[in-house]
Structure formats: structure tokens, C-alpha cells
């Protein structure tokens, strides 16, 4: 029978991948909490409408990439391709719109998009992100960008380039859309099928097509940032001033339009030099002042970002910044009748002293268990043999130094600590 494997585009995370990803999440949560953000968990699946309305028909995500299925009651459900729409739904459903504003939330978890898998692009991938809802001031845009930037900096990642743009709002976007359509109209026959569809539904996406038929047509297309109304222009100016004041380097990228439809005004991405092509975005976000209404709620501004944890891990690994999985510092080998219980008690003592301790419950020979402890990287091995136990003691072996001594059970923790301290010095 063929062996069972993971589904294409999904993967197991373990060892250094898991350890590095955990580090990313710990730093991200710490940065969010330091700025008054509190955690939120939303369901992994929602009614399909949440995403089709929010992310928008005509986007790749909605048209081609959603994992949509009918449940047993015939309702259309979708595995979340992103979390902003869910968090905004939860903000209203949980009555958070009634309290002090803005509401600052952070989240993490798996997202699902049926994209063509390759390095840095998966069908199940992990994001962490924040949403700050209920305030339209540009200071909040600067706050979330600074939060994301600090998270990446705290990991020691170099080569991150922040791209910033403004894509206008309901006041100035319609006139800009017409200008863009005027630019592309004469070329409709040359454009790819997707772009011909986007021409009517969402012409902004035309600026982002990478196909050889369409990319050259972008030359000479008008940029959204050159056609902002005064309110959007002033919002954008204030954001840029704040980023300069915060010493956050950024590039103004007039072509940055993002792949999801809900953005108004600010759009940004963090690119990394070592990740090539369309997978170079470590994360991105922006403002979505029109999204609440699209979901059927009262008009409410918001801004946020999501970072791709898989890609950050990849970038850290390529920069030699992987985290090592936690190895055991101490291995206890019970090797006598009744030693197993004693071993577990001793392990509890050692853990109280903060030492990562494992008990080898196996019944193989002492020699092979010693070899195993060495392979695991244990710095100290504690052997509970018959001779030692009958004397109320254990043999404590310093794996690096090679010495071994018999120590009374009550003094093992102290002896182990001494060896580990010597090793760390
Ligand atoms: P997004 O740009 O679609 O934005 O995704 C954010 C990040 O998730 C990307 O920059 C990338 O690092 C990662 N990502 C996306 N797709 C994949 C994939 N197939 N495999 C691996 N990583 C991937 C959002 O999701 C918005 N919700 C961001 C946001 C929050 N806007 C406002 N608030």
C-alpha cells in the first residue's frame, strides 16, 4: 500500500523550523503587547461571504485560491485565506465597537490559499498580524508599521525594505479608476484573460499583473498617489512624516496595490532581499476604512498588517539566524529495579531548578542509552544503578568533562547545576 503523505503545499513543521517560527511568534506577541494590543482567536473557517465580500470578487484569492466547501447543512464555508475580515467581523459581533476606540488586536494562525506551491509559498501557511480598529488618524498607520518593523528588527533580520503607497479612497478612487481604464482601453485585446476581467471589476489590479502580455502595458499608466484627493494626500503626507520621525527607512512605491480589494489610502509591504520574485514579501497591510460597510456593519476605519511566518523563518535561515530546537540538558537513566519512580522524582527536582530534563524510560543496555543521551546533546547524565540506589545515591556524569561521581540523591540537583554552570562559563 502506498505510504500516506502530506497534501501538496502543506508541510510539517519541526526541529529548527518550529523553533525559529516560535521565536518569531514570541517576539511578535511581545511587540504587540508592549503597544497595548490584546490577543484574539477567530475560527479557521467562516461563511464564504466573509471573504468573498471583503477580499473581493476579481482577486486571485477569491476567484482561484479559496478552499470552499459545503457543510452537511448545505452552507458554503471557506477555510480562511486571511484574517482581517474575520477580526473585523469579530469586532462587531463581540461588541468591541461599543468600548473605547481604537481597539487594538493581535492574532496568529494558519491561513489557506490554493496557490501553486514553491519555496515560500504554501497552501497552508502561518501568519501573525494586528488590526487597530475604530480610528482613522495617520498616527495609527504609523503605529502598526512601526510595530511590524520593530518585530522584524528584534529578530536581527537585515535586508528588509519597507514599501509604502497610498491608493486613495471612495472620494478620489472613481476618477482615478477612469483614468486607469482610459490608459488600458486601447490595449484590451493584448491583455491576459484575468486582466480583461479586472478591467471592469477592479482596474487597480492591472498595475500588479506579472504576465509578459500585461507587465509592459504598465509603463505610462497613471499612479494612484498622483491622483489623491486633499484628505488622502494629507493623510499620506502625515504618515510619511511620522515614519521619518521614527527613523524607519521606506521606499515610496507608486505601483504597490496589494492583492486584496479592501484597502483605502495606506498600503505597505515588507520585502526581503534574499527572497526572490513574488515570494519576497515578508508581510504587508494597510488601511481598510470601507471594509466594515462591505461586511454589512456601520462605517468604521481600521488599519493592520499580517506577516508571513514561513517566509520570515526562511529569511532568518538564509541569514544564518535559525533558532536551535531546545535540547535536553540532563538525561536520567534508571537502570535498576524500582529506579523509574526515583528517576521521575529526581527529574521534577531538576526541572524546578530550571534544567531541561528527560528520563530514558527504555529498557535497552546502559551503553546504548548513554550513546543516545550523547546524541541528544545532554550535558549531564544521571545514572540510577543498583549499587548507587542501594547507597541512596546516583552517578552523575559530566559528558563534556568526562568525569563521573557518586552523589547523594538529595544533592544531585546541586551537583548538576554546578556542572551546567561550569559548561556555560
Ligand atoms: P497578504 O499580503 O495577502 O495580506 O498576506 C500577508 C503575508 O502573508 C504575505 O506578505 C506573505 O508573507 C504571507 N503569505 C501570503 N500568502 C502566502 C502563501 N501562500 N504562502 C506563504 N506565505 C504567504 C493579508 O493577508 C492581509 N490580511 C494583511 C492585512 C492585515 N491588511 C490589513 N490588515
What is the tens place of the pLDDT at every residue in 50-106?
Answer: 999 999 988 889 999 999 999 999 999 999 999 999 999 999 999 999 999 999 999
Q: Is 310 in the pocket of ligand 1 (CB under 6 A)?
A: yes
The reply to whether ligand 1 has any atom less than 6 angstroms from the CB of 283 is yes
**SS3 for 28?**
helix
Nearest residue (CA) to ligand 1, atom 23: 308
The partner residues of 125 in beta bridges, in order of sequence, read 111
Among candidate residues 236, 212, 239, 213, the one with its CA nearest the CA of residue 223: 236
For residue 345, the surrounding DSSP H or E stretch is helix 339-352
Q: 27: number of CA atoms within 13 Å, CB side?
A: 22
**Per the structure block, which three cell numbers stand in for 104?**
487594538
* pTM, two decimal places: 0.94
What's the 334 CA to ligand 1 centre distance in angstroms?
Answer: 49
261 within ligand 1 shell (Cβ under 6 A): no
Helix or strand run (H / E) with residue 47: strand 45-47
Output the CA 258–ligand 1 centroid distance in Å. Answer: 10
C-alpha cell at 167: 491608493
Q: Which atom of ligand 1 is nearest to the CA of 113?
A: 19
**Protein residue whose Cα sits closest to atom 15 of ligand 1:** 308
Q: Is 208 in the pocket of ligand 1 (CB under 6 A)?
A: no
Separation of alpha carbons 265 and 39, rounded Å: 26
CA–CA distances in Å: residue 146 to residues 149, 271, 284: 5, 15, 12
What is the C-alpha to C-alpha distance for residues 277 and 258, in angstroms, rounded to an integer? 15
What tens-digit pLDDT sequence spans the chain (425 residues)? 999 999 999 999 999 999 999 999 999 999 999 999 999 999 999 999 999 999 998 888 999 999 999 999 999 999 999 999 999 999 999 999 999 999 999 999 999 999 999 989 999 999 999 999 999 999 999 999 999 999 999 999 999 999 999 999 999 999 999 999 999 999 999 999 989 988 998 899 899 888 899 989 988 999 999 999 999 999 999 999 999 999 999 999 999 999 899 999 999 999 998 777 667 999 999 999 999 999 999 999 999 999 999 999 999 999 999 998 878 899 999 999 889 999 999 999 999 999 999 999 998 999 999 999 999 999 999 999 999 999 999 999 999 988 999 999 999 999 999 999 987 77
Closest CA to 261 of 137, 376, 167, 324: 167
Distance CA 210, CA 205 (A): 11
Atom 14 of ligand 1: nearest residue by CA position: 308
Atom of ligand 1 nearest to the CA of 129: 30
Going by CA atoms, what residue is nearest to atom 8 of ligand 1?
A: 308
pLDDT digits (tens, 9 = 90+) for 219-270: 899 999 999 999 999 999 999 999 999 999 999 999 999 989 999 999 999 9
Amino acid at each position: 500500500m502506498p505510504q500516506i503523505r502530506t497534501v501538496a503545499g502543506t508541510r510539517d513543521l519541526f526541529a529548527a523550523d518550529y523553533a525559529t517560527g516560535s521565536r518569531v511568534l514570541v517576539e511578535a506577541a511581545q511587540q504587540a503587547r508592549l503597544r497595548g494590543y490584546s490577543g484574539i482567536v477567530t475560527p479557521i473557517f467562516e461563511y464564504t461571504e466573509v471573504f468573498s465580500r471583503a477580499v473581493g470578487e476579481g482577486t486571485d484569492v477569491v476567484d482561484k485560491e479559496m478552499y470552499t466547501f459545503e457543510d452537511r447543512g448545505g452552507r458554503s464555508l471557506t477555510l480562511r485565506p486571511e484574517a482581517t475580515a474575520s477580526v473585523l467581523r469579530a469586532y462587531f459581533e463581540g461588541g468591541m465597537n461599543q468600548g473605547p476606540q481604537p481597539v487594538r488586536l493581535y492574532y496568529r494562525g494558519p491561513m489557506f490559499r490554493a496557490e501553486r506551491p514553491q519555496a515560500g509559498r504554501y497552501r497552508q501557511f502561518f501568519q501573525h498580524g494586528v488590526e487597530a480598529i475604530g480610528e482613522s488618524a495617520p498616527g495609527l498607520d504609523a503605529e502598526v508599521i512601526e510595530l511590524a518593523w520593530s518585530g522584524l528588527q528584534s529578530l536581527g533580520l537585515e535586508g528588509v525594505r519597507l514599501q509604502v503607497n497610498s491608493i486613495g479612497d471612495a472620494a478620489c478612487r472613481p476618477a482615478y479608476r477612469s483614468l486607469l481604464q482610459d490608459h488600458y482601453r486601447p490595449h484590451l485585446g493584448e491583455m491576459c484573460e484575468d486582466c480583461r476581467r479586472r478591467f471592469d471589476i477592479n482596474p487597480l489590479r492591472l498595475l500588479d499583473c506579472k504576465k509578459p502580455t500585461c507587465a509592459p502595458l504598465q509603463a505610462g499608466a497613471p499612479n494612484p498617489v498622483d491622483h489623491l484627493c486633499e484628505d488622502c494626500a494629507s493623510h499620506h503626507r502625515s504618515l510619511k512624516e511620522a515614519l521619518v520621525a521614527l527613523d524607519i527607512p521606506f521606499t515610496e512605491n507608486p505601483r504597490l496595490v496589494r492583492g486584496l480589494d479592501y484597502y483605502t489610502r495606506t498600503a505597505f509591504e515588507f520585502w526581503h532581499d534574499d527572497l526572490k520574485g513574488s515570494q519576497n514579501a515578508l508581510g504587508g497591510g494597510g488601511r481598510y476604512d470601507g471594509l466594515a460597510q462591505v461586511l454589512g456593519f456601520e462605517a468604521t476605519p481600521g488599519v493592520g498588517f499580517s506577516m508571513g511566518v514561513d517566509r520570515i523563518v526562511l529569511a532568518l535561515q538564509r541569514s544564518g539566524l535559525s533558532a536551535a530546537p531546545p535540547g535536553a540538558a540532563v538525561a536520567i537513566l534508571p537502570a535498576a529495579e524500582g529506579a523509574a519512580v526515583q528517576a521521575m522524582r529526581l527529574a521534577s527536582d531538576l526541572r524546578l531548578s530550571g534544567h531541561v530534563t528527560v528520563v530514558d524510560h527504555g529498557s535497552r543496555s546502559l551503553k546504548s542509552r548513554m550513546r543516545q543521551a550523547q546524541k541528544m546533546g545532554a550535558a549531564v547524565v544521571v545514572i540510577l544503578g543498583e549499587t548507587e540506589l542501594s547507597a541512596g545515591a546516583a552517578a552523575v556524569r559530566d559528558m563534556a568533562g568526562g568525569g563521573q561521581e557518586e552523589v547523594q540523591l538529595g544533592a544531585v540537583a546541586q551537583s548538576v547545576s554546578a556542572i551546567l554552570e561550569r559548561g556555560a562559563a
